Amino acid sequence: MKNRNVIFKILLPPLLCILCLSYINDSDFYPLEFGLIIAIFNYNHFNFKPYVGVIVSVLVSYVVYLLAALSFVGMWYLNQSMISYNTMNEGLIAKVITIISVCFIAPLLLFYLYGFIFKISKSKNSKWVIIISIVTLIFLQINDFNKEANFSSIKEYDYFNLSVYWQFVMALAIQLNIYQNNFFKKKLYSS
Higher pLDDT residue, 80 or 8?
A: 8
pLDDT level of residue 172 (50, 70, 90 thresholds): very high
Task: Dump pLDDT digits (tens) for 118-132.
Answer: 998 888 889 999 999
Report d(CA 106, CA 6) in Å as an integer: 26
β strands within the chain, DSSP E: none
Q: How many domains does the chain have?
A: 1
pLDDT level of residue 155 (50, 70, 90 thresholds): very low
Whether residue 119 is contained in a domain is answered as yes
- Supply the range of the domain harboring residue 121: 2-183
Task: Dump pLDDT digits (tens) for 39-53.
Answer: 999 999 999 899 999
Statement: residue 158 has pLDDT above 90:
no
User: What dihedral do alpha carbons 113, 161, 104, 182 form, nearest 10°?
Assistant: 50
Task: Dump pLDDT digits (tens) for 50-99.
Answer: 999 999 999 999 999 999 999 988 888 877 776 655 556 777 778 888 89
Residue 144 forms beta bridges with which residues?
A: none
Statement: residue 163 has pLDDT above 70:
yes
Whether residue 95 is contained in a domain is answered as yes
Q: Is 1 exposed, middle or buried (0-12, 13-18, 19+ CB in 10 A)?
A: exposed
Whether residue 188 is contained in a domain is answered as no
In order of 107, 153, 163, the CA distances from 169 in angstroms are 10, 26, 10
Closest CA relative to residue 169, chosen from 141, 145, 136, 143: 136
Q: Mean per-residue pLDDT for 98-108?
A: 93
Higher pLDDT residue, 183 or 57?
A: 57
Whether residue 189 is contained in a domain is answered as no
Statement: residue 180 has pLDDT above 50:
yes
Whether residue 9 is contained in a domain is answered as yes
Give the per-residue pLDDT at 5.
87
Whether residue 57 is contained in a domain is answered as yes
Q: Mean per-residue pLDDT for 10-16?
A: 95
Q: Mean per-residue pLDDT for 157-185?
A: 82
**The pTM is what?**
0.84
Statement: residue 156 has pLDDT above 50:
no
Whether residue 191 is contained in a domain is answered as no
Give the per-residue pLDDT at 149.
59
CA atoms within 13 A on the CB side of 118: 29
Give the per-residue pLDDT at 188.
43
CA angle 148–150–151, rounded 5-degree value? 80
Residue 46 forms beta bridges with which residues?
A: 118
